[in-house]
Structure 1
Amino acid sequence: MAVEFRAGQNAPLATPSVRFTATASVPVDLCALVVDTHLQVASSQDVVFYNQPQTAGVRLDGDALVVEPGRLRPDADRVLCALGTEQVTPVDTTLTDTAGTPLATFRIEPVAGETALLCWEIYRRGGDWKIRALGQGYAGGLAELFTAHGVEVDDPEPATPPAPQEVPPLETGATCVRMWQIFEDASRSAAAYVSAHEYAHHRLDEELSAAVADPSARTGDAAEQARARAHRRCDELIAAAEVRYTDDSEQLISELAALEGALPAALASWDAPAWRRPGEAADGVRIGEVTAPDRGPLRVPFCVPVPLGRPLWVDGDAEAAAPVASALALRLLASRPGSLLHVVDPAGAMRQLTDLAGSLLAGPPVHEVAGVRAKLKGLADAADLDALAASAGDAHHPEPRVLVVSGLPHGYGSDDLLHLVRLTQLAAAQQISLVMTGTEDEGVDSPAYRILAEAAQHVPSDEGRFVDPWTRTDWQFVSDTGPSDPERIRAVVRSLECRRQEI
């Protein structure tokens, strides 16, 4: 049974001949490079591809590439098995023996526009031969791959640069999706950058190990030159990866800048023109940004769809979480023109919001513990009645509401938490967007509290770590704390007031 390899994994080669094949959703062009210890070809005769189907020890055989290490030129150190495609696509590769028995498989998923892939290397280690899965990609196609390994490639005729393309118009209800697509592109580019770094350092370790493998040759000019070449090759690989990542980031930054003017207010920055336009519903809200300062200046808005599938819980004490909860409340109000705001705030941490946004409140905010139970019970009972009416065929639709509950669990009794659970269960159907703040307290002996903490999507009150769902790459998440200038908050509130009057 074939072993499924990961990038960098190696194993001994126990067969005198190995066949390399690949499958993808588009046609692939197999090729091979016979290289020395510095990964460079000696001449154009060391390249095997459709226009030159064989060289000593390597040949194309139908849809397979056959390598016979024992027949390579004497000073060859390894064979790089590669392929090219016309478009970016995942590729499944396989190595088999002469009888067609699979030896190893390796799946490669390009993450940064690569259309040429180094898949496997068959390399000499002492008197034996080994195989290693690579997975290194080249966005410039086979021409870039060949050039990187010393093959002279004819320069193509200079092409007329394409005219600048305008960002296609945003489809109604697709803006949050577009933000996630940009984040996915950023994640895949970052993963390629990280992978290239790891590959370069892995290659450096291998080449330095080879340079000192012979004790009699560990010192002297030849050894120093071998180590210098290994470090230079590592630096070149890292530099190429940084150029590709920088180009990708600049493209995404440009795309985000072009989109900014078209985003609805709930997804836009606080000084965007959307806050001065008539009420415009949104399919999501911005809750922060993801960034990686060690990888460059790219900052991608982090958005969640509305209506909220889960309540948002801002982690931290009431005072620290208040700016984030206030920003979320204003954005949720903007996402559904005509929404009203309810605030339950026994700690008094949300007073700036309630003072500035008084005209958007559905009723007096609760700033005392004594008023918490009646408020939450009244909201939960009303939501229950609305749900019953809807199930009976009543065509009445309740007004969208935003409920901010601050300072959990302190100041809230068991019944209060149960009312919140009821609201959580009815929120999506009854157009209730629920924002909670609080610190998780393991000492609270309440099943309702644990249900709330587990059901919510947690948001840090300042910064936190986020691992993207596509490539598992690390990002820094920075929460949206709203405008720092009270006058800017007043302008946002006035915009929301105008939107409500238009309904």
Structure 2
Amino acid sequence: MTAELVRGQNHPLPEVRLEVRVSAGKPIVAGATLSDEHGKVHGADWVAHPGAPTLPGLKVSRQAAADHRLAVDLDAIPQAVHRVSVLLALPSGVGGPVRFGTVAAPFLAVTGLDGTEVASYTITGLDSESAVVALELYRRQDAWKVRAVGQGYAGGLAELLTDQGLPEARQLAGSINEAVAQGLARSVAAPPPRTPDADRHRHAAAPAQGPDQTHGGTAPQGAPGNASPQQSPYGNSDPQGATSPYSAAAAQDPSSPYAAGPQGTRSDHGAGAQQGPAPTDPPAAATAGGGPINYTHPGRRTAAPPPTAPVAQPGQSAQPVAGDATGWSMEERLYNQVWGMFEDLARTTAAYRSAVDFADSRMEQELDTVLSDPRSRIGGQGDAARETARAKHTQLVDRAREAFDRDLTQLRAEADVVEPALPPAYARWDNPAWHAYRVPMEIPMALRLGDLHLPESENVRIPMLVRLPLERGLWIDSGYSESGHASLVDSGELRALALETAAALAARILAVHPPGEFSVHVIDPAGTGASALAPLVQTGVLAAPPAAGAAGVADVLARLTQRVDLVQMAVRGGAPDALPPGIDVSEQLLIVNDFPHGFDDRAVTQLRYLADEGPAVGVHLMMVADRQDAAAYGPLLDPLWRSLLRLTPVPDDHLADPWVGHAWTYEPALVPPGSQVLQHVLTQVATARRSWNR
């Protein structure tokens, strides 16, 4: 069982090859120092940071991110090292928060390579500090332990490193902040010139976290991460600008962790780089020749690779293979591959748009030159110059479109291979994986919420994956929006579609969790959602019948609020097992239909509390509501809307990734009309739950 540490508490480490996973609400810098038996750091070469991410037995992220995975191989740590201190800091000078008191409390988990948590620690009580020693792994009588430290420094990295005994602390802190600032400010370049098929690799820009919400909130964790894309669909290669601690470079570096074994897990979800200014020369995608990109890039390699793609013949592109990504399992490789596809589509679309913008700008400049010369206005000279400018514009755009279409063809081929291979948690409802469904015994690493695509690539759909457990609640719009197709749907039908989307997502969440690991509650004050909720009610997978009326609303909210309070007190008191009998410790999902009808001021306050505090202790919120209706309660509810991940029951262009700034069209994961797959799956879930409860 996971040891939930409090400050100063320690716990033995049963394994030597570990990950330290860091989750935070905002991009942070992660690093580590090595020190001897006296706690002294001997120099800058004993510090792993974004500018120098690899030390013997240790690898950290190259960029600020909301989620990190630090790789540690304790057997590879030099004998002179007796302590590995994990450092966290807020980026300096990049417009973000300047102290930990203004961001969510960072959470760290020490896990084995299979993802099993050994120990976890939530750093609470920080205020003016901008850097913190979070954890330390230390030797004790030829064994290793982990200790929760949580020592903060208001003076930032410079003060922290000085306290670690580094004489050049201020210079090193400056170089770390400079490396992070350069990474966060890095523009997205067009893909490099194409090379012969035999030598072609996809040059992976660091992953971006995945779609953020332009209408409020942060990117989905993930994220394909965070997405999450985390957490993407999205946070890693999740498109994000962070480098995986298990990259191909680590596989080739004998001093890096896990150099002798398979390299790979998902990349870090960090703050995406903003797109730079328009180029002054034609982008490479518009001018370079050659065939399509080979989408097998170093970030997807492993030392023990998945099945090898057939060797491409001259003039042909390599055939894509499902699972062609880094990871310790096929599930993780597919997750990373989906994020890689998201990154590829984002980048090739950015290159195409940049090329078109360049062509437009160049034609305008040439036309301005023609019109500014009075001599060109006489006779046919001006007309000829204008025709030449337009011909150059057409040539540049056609060349860019040709390169873009080649990339889309390769991505479509990859999507056609990957989609049928996805496990149920990642698959569409029409995927055959659901027809062979069996109740799982393990929780998956991610969940599919829908699909994403861009206007230029309607037929290339990228699964929107978010990491589990959910770190944010969901808001499913039941009202009209400024974009998308909602305005074409009747208001009553839109509300029904919103609840149908919520029911399908709840069914998927229940289906991918082992029996007893997840419970779903529903608040339906007026009983208007009976039809959409029927599959959940009739199969008996809900924890209780949908709560109706003001009394039902108050009862459900009181019970879940009490659960959050009790679990929080138990965790903070260092006794997570000391809970009263009858408390359901499984993950909880509360679906609220037709909000704010049936809610008084007390109920609204409890709902806000669950949205803010619930995810940290396993209580998650899914709101089915119209923001305009919720606005009747005043501005206090606006933060609730912004704190949740907004989804829509119809296609809508409301998700944006911070990496290149695209507005992605989201489509919900709905059950095909007439399909019985939902009934089939929920029946098995209900049977497994009854057997588990006996």
Taking structure 2 as the reference length, the TM-score comes to: 0.48
Shift of the alpha carbon at 1:163?
5.4
Give yes or no for the alignment of 1:278 onto 2:465.
Answer: no
CA contact (8 A) 1:292 1:475 kept: yes
Cα shift readout 1:96-155 (whole Å, capped 9, x = no counterpart): xxxxxxxxxx98642334469xxxxxxxxxxxxxxx9614332598777xxxxxxxxxxx
CA contact (8 A) 1:332 1:402 kept: no
Cα shift readout 1:459-503 (whole Å, capped 9, x = no counterpart): 233232232221112332233344333623312323534664786
Question: How many residues are treated as equivalent by the alignment?
Answer: 369
Aligned counterpart, 2:521: 342
Aligned counterpart, 1:164: 319
Shift of the alpha carbon at 1:247?
1.6
Shift of the alpha carbon at 1:228?
2.2
Aligned counterpart, 1:439: 626
Task: State the distance in 2 between where 1:108 and 1:309 align.
Answer: 29
Q: Where do 5+ consecutive residues of structure 1 fail to align?
A: 1-105, 117-131, 145-157
Aligned counterpart, 1:110: 189
Name the CA shift for 1:180/1:253 in 2 (closer, same or farther; >3 Å).
Answer: same
2:395 corresponds, among 236, 239, 243, to: 236
Name the CA shift for 1:309/1:108 in 2 (closer, same or farther; >3 Å).
Answer: closer
Shift of the alpha carbon at 1:377?
0.6
Within 5 A, what are the aligned runs for 1:148-163? 159=314, 161=316
CA contact (8 A) 2:452 2:667 kept: yes
Within 5 A, what are the aligned runs for 1:15-26? none
Shift of the alpha carbon at 1:313?
0.9
Within 5 A, what are the aligned runs for 1:81-100? none
Shift of the alpha carbon at 1:270?
0.4
1:383 corresponds, among 561, 564, 571, to: 564
Q: Secondary structure at the match of 2:391?
A: helix
Give yes or no for the alignment of 1:331 onto 2:331.
Answer: no
Q: Secondary structure at the match of 1:404?
A: strand
Give yes or no for the alignment of 1:457 onto 2:634.
Answer: no
Give yes or no for the alignment of 1:361 onto 2:542.
Answer: yes
Within 5 A, what are the aligned runs for 1:20-169? 109-114=188-193, 134-139=280-285, 159=314, 161=316, 164-168=319-323
Q: Structure 2 counterpart of 1:278, which letter? A: R
Aligned counterpart, 1:257: 416
Task: State the distance in 1 between where 2:381 and 2:337 align.
Answer: 55
CA contact (8 A) 1:483 1:489 kept: no
Q: Where do 5+ consecutive residues of structure 2 fail to align?
A: 1-184, 196-277, 291-312, 480-494
Give yes or no for the alignment of 1:421 onto 2:603.
Answer: no
Shift of the alpha carbon at 1:412?
0.9
Task: State the distance in 1 between where 2:535 and 2:499 align.
Answer: 14
Q: Structure 2 counterpart of 1:110, which letter? A: A
Name the CA shift for 1:376/1:108 in 2 (closer, same or farther; >3 Å).
Answer: closer
Q: Structure 1 counterpart of 2:520, which letter? A: L
Cα shift readout 1:225-256 (whole Å, capped 9, x = no counterpart): 33222222111111111111112222222222
Task: State the distance in 2 between where 1:502 and 1:111 align.
Answer: 55
Name the CA shift for 1:239/1:425 in 2 (closer, same or farther; >3 Å).
Answer: same
CA contact (8 A) 2:511 2:681 kept: no
CA contact (8 A) 2:589 2:619 kept: yes
CA contact (8 A) 1:384 1:426 kept: no
Shift of the alpha carbon at 1:424?
2.6
CA contact (8 A) 1:114 1:140 kept: no
CA contact (8 A) 2:550 2:598 kept: yes
Aligned counterpart, 1:245: 404
Shift of the alpha carbon at 1:414?
1.7
Q: Secondary structure at the match of 1:134?
A: coil
Aligned counterpart, 2:530: 351
Cα shift readout 1:12-40 (whole Å, capped 9, x = no counterpart): xxxxxxxxxxxxxxxxxxxxxxxxxxxxx
Task: State the distance in 2 between where 1:254 and 1:361 align.
Answer: 40
Give the stretch that moved more between structures: 214-223 or 462-471. 214-223
Name the CA shift for 1:426/1:467 in 2 (closer, same or farther; >3 Å).
Answer: closer
Cα shift readout 1:334-390 (whole Å, capped 9, x = no counterpart): 332322221111132432343212321111221333311012111221333234344
Q: Structure 1 counterpart of 2:341, which letter? A: I
Task: State the distance in 2 between where 1:279 and 1:225 align.
Answer: 71
CA contact (8 A) 1:326 1:350 kept: no
Give the stretch that moved more between structures: 394-403 or 326-335. 394-403
CA contact (8 A) 2:570 2:576 kept: yes
CA contact (8 A) 2:320 2:414 kept: no
Name the CA shift for 1:136/1:386 in 2 (closer, same or farther; >3 Å).
Answer: same
* Structure (1/2) with the larger strand percentage: 1
Q: Secondary structure at the match of 1:356?
A: helix
Aligned counterpart, 1:479: 668
CA contact (8 A) 1:184 1:470 kept: no
Within 5 A, what are the aligned runs for 1:272-311? 272-275=431-434, 276-280=436-440, 281-311=443-473
Give the stretch that moved more between structures: 403-412 or 162-171. 162-171
Task: State the distance in 2 between where 1:407 and 1:254 align.
Answer: 41
Name the CA shift for 1:336/1:454 in 2 (closer, same or farther; >3 Å).
Answer: same
Name the CA shift for 1:141/1:495 in 2 (closer, same or farther; >3 Å).
Answer: farther
Cα shift readout 1:58-114 (whole Å, capped 9, x = no counterpart): xxxxxxxxxxxxxxxxxxxxxxxxxxxxxxxxxxxxxxxxxxxxxxxx986423344
Name the CA shift for 1:272/1:502 in 2 (closer, same or farther; >3 Å).
Answer: farther
Cα shift readout 1:265-307 (whole Å, capped 9, x = no counterpart): 2321101133223334322222232223455422222232221
Task: State the distance in 1 between where 2:345 and 2:191 align.
Answer: 9
